[in-house]
Structure formats: C-alpha cells, structure tokens
Amino acid sequence: MNLDNSLQKEFYEEFVSFSSEDIEQFAKVSGDYNPLHLDEEFAIAQGFSNRIVHGALVISRVSGIIASKFPGAGTIIGTIEWKFVSPVFINQELKLMFTLSKTQTRKGLLELSVFNDTEGVVQEARLIIFSGKS
C-alpha cells in the first residue's frame, strides 16, 4: 500500500463468484445456517431466484483482497460502512471495484462498489484502512 503524502487515487478491480461449497463452508465457520443460504427451494419460496450468498462472506472475500492484493500485505481494516442494495446469488459473477484515497500517513479511505450483470450495484462500502508500513 502506498499511503505516502500524494493525493493520488489508486484503483483496482477483480471478478469473484461464490459456489455452493463456499457457502456451505462459510455456514460451518460462521454458524449462520439460515435456509436462504443453504436451501434453494426455501429461498425460491421466499421470493428469491436462488440461494443468497451470506453478506459476511462477501465482506470476508473483500478483507482477503485488501490484505493480500490491494492495497496488500500489512493493511488492516479500521472501520467498515457497508450497504447491501440487492442480494448476491450463488454462482453469480460479481465485479468488485475499489478506489483508494490517502487521508493521512498510513491511513486511507477505500471505497468499494460490487456489481452484478443484471441489477448493477448490489453492494457499496466505505472502509478506513491502515498500513503498518511507516
């Protein structure tokens, strides 16, 4: 992460999707066995087109990207403001678009938009991140 004194913005994008196995493993780790995530018939009966991905699973994937790819190693999340606009469905391809702005030395504002191919923006987030680098 380059949180020097420049006022430049940095951009990053990545495509992700979540499989049935991802959802089942996340349910085990999180203890969230809501049938909207695990039972297609139940989800459809509730008016959805398919099983819904755990919102926290999307957040977890974003956390992994922040820690390992953009901005990268040494970065931690301080605060998160997350808006769930529309559900994310199993096997749905998502485009994650990140914009990083430096606010102070070692501190940055990371804005995220999550898009799918039908509704457009399905999630939005603002995160304050910190770098351990001096």
Has residue 3 been placed in a domain? no
Query: What is the residue range of 54's domain?
Result: 9-131
Under 8 Å between Cβ of 71 and 100: yes
121: which 2 tokens? Answer: 């923006």
> What is the C-alpha separation between 22 and 132, in angstroms, rounded?
30
Query: If you average pLDDT over residues 77-102, what whole number do you get?
Result: 96
Has residue 113 been placed in a domain? yes
pTM above 0.85, yes or no: yes
Q: What are phi and psi of 30, to 5 degrees?
A: -90, -25
Give residue 75's identity as a one-letter amino acid code: T
pLDDT at 3 over 80: no
Has residue 59 been placed in a domain? yes
Report the pLDDT value the prediction gives residue 7, as an integer from 0 to 100.
Answer: 58
Report which of 55, 54, 49 is spatially closest to residue 37, judged by C-alpha positions.
Answer: 54
In the numeric block, the tokens 């909207």 are attached to 36
Q: Tell me the CATH number at 17.
A: 3.10.129.10
State pLDDT tens for residues 31-56.
Answer: 999 999 999 999 999 999 999 999 99
Has residue 2 been placed in a domain? no
Provide Rg for the chain, Cα atoms: 16
